[in-house]
Amino acid sequence: MNHKHLFDREQRWVTRKGKAYLSDRVVFHGKDLHKELGDRDWIRLYLHAILGRDPGENMAKLLNFYWVSTSYPDASIWPNHVTALAGTVRTTPSLALMAGMSVSEASIYGRRPEVRALDFFYRAGRWCDEGGELADFVDLEKSKGRILYGYGRPLAKSDERVEYTLEKARELGLADGRHLQMALDVHKHLEDRYGYSMNVAAVHAGLAADMGLTCQEYQLFLTPCFVTGMAPCYQDTRDAPEGSFFPVRCSSIVYGGPPKRDWDDG
C-alpha cells in the first residue's frame, strides 16, 4: 500500500456521479439536470440520485407512498418530539429538522430496523434457494435471540399503514413479488406461533427487496422519510409560548436514584 491514490486525487476529484459546470450546465449521472431532468418530481429525482438511473414511474410512486403514509404530524412521536423541542427553544428550522432526522436512525424504530428487515428477507431468500423452509429460518433467527424487525409494534397491536401500502402496491402492479409474499408468510407463522402482529416495516422491506434495492440504497432513500411530519411539529411549538412544549414542574419528577447528596458548606 502506498499514497499513490492520494497523489492522484490531490488536485482533482474523479467521479461518475456528477459535476456542476457553473455558468454552463450540471451533469447528474450523465444527464443534464436542467434540460433532461427538470420535469422530474423531486422524489423521482432523489431516486435517480441514489440508483444512478430512472426507477420508472410505478416504482417511484410506490416509494413516494412510503413517505406519504409515514408523515405523521404528531409531536408525541419521538423524532417529531425532538423537532418540537427544538422549536420551543427557538432554534432554526434546519437545525430542528436535522435533529429530528438524526434520532430517527434509532435501534428500535426508523432507519436501522427497516434496513435490517430488508437484510432479513434477502437472507431468507438465500436460505430458501438452498432448499430450506422459510418457517425454519424464522425460528432459527428467533432462537438466536435476533429481533425480527417488521413484526410486533411498540404501543399498538396493529399498523394502520399496512393495508394502505398493500393496496397501493396492488394498484401499481407491484404486489406479486416473492419477498412481499415471504413477508406475509412470515407474519402468518409468527402470528400463529407467537401472536405477533406485522408492522409496515416488513411490508416496506419485502417490496423494496422485490424492487431490487440494496440495503444502502434503501437507507439513503428512507433517511428523510419522517421530515414531512416534523415540519408542522416545529411550527406548532415555534408559534406557541417559548418553553411550553410538555413542561414538567420539579414536584412532578419522581427520583429513584441514590440518596440525595449532602453538600457541605465548604
Q: What is the mean pLDDT of the chain?
A: 92
Q: State pTM to two decimals.
A: 0.89
In Å, how far are 34, 41, 64, 116 from 57, measured between CA atoms?
19, 10, 10, 26
At the fourth CATH level, the homologous superfamily of domain 111-221 is Cytochrome P450-Terp, domain 2 (1.10.230.10)
Nearest CA to 201 among 174, 222, 178? 222
DSSP 40: S
Give the residue extent of every domain in the chain: 14-55, 111-221
Collapsing DSSP to helix, strand or coil, 228 comes out as helix
Q: What is the rounded distance in angstroms from the CA atom of residue 225 to the CA atom of residue 228?
A: 7
pLDDT at 202: 96
* Cα dist from 217 to 46, 48, 177, 261, whole Å: 11, 11, 19, 51
Buried-exposed string 125-141: b where 16+ CB fall within 10 A, e elsewhere = bebeeeeeebeebbeeb
pLDDT band at 241 (very low <50, low <70, confident <90, very high): very high
How would you list the strands of the sheet with 31-32, edge to edge? 18-21, 25-28, 31-32
The mean-pLDDT minimum among 136-140, 144-148, 162-166 falls in 144-148
Question: CA–CA separation, 260 vs 139, rounded Å?
Answer: 48
Residue 184's Cβ-count burial label (10 Å; 0-12, 13-18, 19+) is middle
Q: What is the pLDDT of residue 266?
A: 52
Facing residues of 28 across strands? Answer: 18, 31
pLDDT digits (tens, 9 = 90+) for 84-142: 999 999 999 999 999 999 999 887 777 888 999 999 999 999 999 999 999 999 999 99
Q: In the predicted model, is pLDDT for residue 155 greater than 70? A: no
How many Cα atoms occupy the beta-carbon half-sphere of 2 within 13 Å? 3
* Mean pLDDT value of segment 143-150: 92
Measured in degrees and rounded to the nearest 5, phi and psi for residue 58 equal -70, -40
Residue 131's pLDDT is what? 97
Please report the pLDDT score of residue 1 as a whole number.
55
| Torsion of Cα atoms, 133 then 135 then 138 then 139, to 10° | -110
Q: What band does 265 get if pLDDT is binned at 50, 70 and 90?
A: low
pLDDT digits (tens, 9 = 90+) for 179-190: 999 999 999 999
**152 vs 93, 147, 175, 197, CA distance in Å?**
33, 10, 22, 5
Q: pLDDT tens digit string along 24-80? A: 999 999 999 999 999 999 999 999 999 999 999 999 999 999 999 999 999 999 899
